[in-house]
Amino acid sequence: MKFFLDTANLDQIREANELGILDGVTTNPSLMAKEGIKGNANVKKHYKTICEIVNGDISAEVISTDFDGMIKEGVELSKIHKNIVVKIPMIKDGVKAMSYLNKKRIRTNCTLVFSAGQAILAAKAGATYVSPFIGRLDDIGFDGIELISQIAGIYAVQGFKTQILAASIRNPLHIIKSAEAGANVVTCPLSSIMGLLNHPLTDIGLAKFMEDHKKVNSK
Ligand code: E4P
């Protein structure tokens, strides 16, 4: 399973990249706004910087919601770097745009997916990734992980090549459960990745090893 970081924050991207476990980055207009990145030129420059830090797929989201706008933006974004994947929302024009970009060999990540039906459409349109938002489903009382399992089952039976990118991850358990459910990728905040590290027995065990080593070696 690949690990993507879900942020536009360069410090966090560098920190995660230094761990050696980062396979890519996803962003969205809200995450770009959070970092204060505005204006077409600055947005493109920011994506280029991310591509220079991380050697992996970088999702860059369109802000148009009509077919012509999405394909124009998609083509422009794809020219920034070979690792750019164009993020397209799961709407009618989005499906059309993904099909078009797929034929032009421009890779896409279908975002804002909340049902198995939407995931089937994304696969049919030739999306490279489909992004079910599991945290946002959990937030309204639906089971986000169950959706990952359902999509994984359908894709396996049908032989769809689209990769399942579990998005809207809120905690380390979401990462573990996504792995069990068959996600190909998780995109997470840095805090959720770091949360996987922690176990009190590791800390206690390490302190004891250090103490025992010191007892003998300080004599
Ligand atoms: C996916 O690519 C989105 O950027 C993201 O995972 C949304 O997560 P949120 O629900 O925490 O905003």
Whether 103 and 109 have beta carbons less than 8 Å apart is answered as no
Q: Are strands 163-166 and 108-113 parallel, antiparallel or unpaired?
A: unpaired
State the pLDDT confidence band at 15, using cuts at 50, 70 and 90. Answer: very high
Check if 7 has its Cβ closer than 6 Å to any atom of ligand 1: no
State the pLDDT confidence band at 218, using cuts at 50, 70 and 90. Answer: confident
SS3 18: helix
For residue 156, list its beta bridge partners. none
pLDDT tens for residues 59-68? 999 999 999 9
CA of 130 to the centre of ligand 1 (A): 13
State the pLDDT confidence band at 180, using cuts at 50, 70 and 90. Answer: very high
CA of 155 to the centre of ligand 1 (A): 22
Check if 168 has its Cβ closer than 6 Å to any atom of ligand 1: yes
In this prediction, residue 51 carries a pLDDT of 98
Given the residues 44, 79, 87, 219, select the one marked as catalytic. Answer: 87
pLDDT tens for residues 191-211? 999 999 999 999 999 999 999
Detail the DSSP E strand segments found in 9-74: 24-26, 57-61
Check if 9 has its Cβ closer than 6 Å to any atom of ligand 1: no
132's tokens: 């079910």
Distance CA(204)–CA(216), nearest Å, equals 19
**Count of other CB atoms within 10 angstroms of residue 159:** 7
Known active-site residue 87: yes
Whether 7 and 31 have beta carbons less than 8 Å apart is answered as yes
**Count of other CB atoms within 10 angstroms of residue 150:** 17
What's the predicted TM-score (pTM) here?
0.96
pLDDT tens for residues 99-150? 999 999 999 999 999 999 999 999 999 999 999 999 999 999 999 999 999 9
In this prediction, residue 166 carries a pLDDT of 98
Residue 37 CA: distances (Å) to CA of 24, 27, 133, 145 = 20, 12, 24, 32
pLDDT tens for residues 69-98? 999 999 999 999 999 999 999 999 999 999
